[in-house]
Amino acid sequence: MLRKCAGCGELKPKENLIKITKNYKDGNIVINPNSKIFGRSAYLCYNQSCIDNAFKKSKLNKFLKTSVSIDKTALEKMLGQKGI
């Protein structure tokens, strides 16, 4: 399945993207690499420029339809885990 990156707008397989989900039960924002949490989601490429664009232009807020309170460094750690 293809998903759109919130940072660059490219369509990519969802396995190649970081999933960020607003939990439908409690509204918490979760970085969700295993896709076990359900709710409204946004996706980001595994690269620094997409993460920067998503935070700089508040694109995550628009995609998730809420104020995003996650730390940018948590997403940057995902880059290190992916080996990029």
Task: Report pLDDT for 31.
Answer: 86
Mean pLDDT taken over the chain: 85
**Where in the sequence is the domain holding 49, given as residue range(s)?**
2-82
Give the CB-side neighbour count of residue 52, counting CA atoms within 13 A: 3
> What's the domain count of the chain?
1
The pTM of the full predicted model, rounded to 2 decimals, is 0.83
Q: What CATH number does the domain containing 56 carry? A: 3.30.1230.10
Q: Which residue has the higher pLDDT, 7 or 76?
A: 7
> Model confidence over 19-60: pLDDT tens digits?
999 888 888 888 877 778 888 899 999 999 998 998 888 888
